[in-house]
Amino acid sequence: KNEVEQSPQNLTAQEGEFITINCSYSVGISALHWLQQHPGGGIVSLFMLSSGKKKHGRLIATINIQEKHSSLHITASHPRDSAVYICAVRLGGGADGLTFGKGTHLIIQP
């Protein structure tokens, strides 16, 4: 059974701080997603990656396939970044649905 572990579970930081959220998984995957879930429940897909690094605005996502580890970074954090960030993996072997981590609840204080 694939486990997707995220850390930290909760994170409170001051506006402007550099944020790192980590994700580890236990089996081979074909892709990893970083998602953002706001209090209302809606989910936004931030990144999908299978190798290397991607950047979008103040967000950076990296993945190390050999170490089965990914990180999501937020630079110059802002209160509007407050949300739950979820790591999800798509297993290899043709399985399409995602397996999710429990999420990291991020609060950025002004």
Partner 1 sequence: GAVVSQHPSWVICKSGTSVKIECRSLDFQATTMFWYRQFPKQSLMLMATSNEGSKATYEQGVEKDKFLINHASLTLSTLTVTSAHPEDSSFYICSASPSGRGETQYFGPGTRLLVL
Q: Which residues bind partner 1 (CB under 8 A)?
A: 30-31, 33, 35, 40-45, 48, 86, 88, 90, 96-103
Taking the least distance from each CB to partner 1, the nearer of 70 and 77 is: 70
Q: How far is the CB of 88 from partner 1 (least distance, A)?
A: 8
Q: Which residue type is seen at 45?
A: S
Taking the least distance from each CB to partner 1, the nearer of 83 and 101 is: 101
Taking the least distance from each CB to partner 1, the nearer of 19 and 103 is: 103
Q: How far apart are CA 98 and CA 74, in angstroms?
A: 23
Q: How far is the CB of 85 from partner 1 (least distance, A)?
A: 12
- Return the structure tokens found at 35: 């998602």
Cβ neighbors of 47 (< 8 A, separation 6 or more) are 33, 34, 54, 56, 59, 61, 72
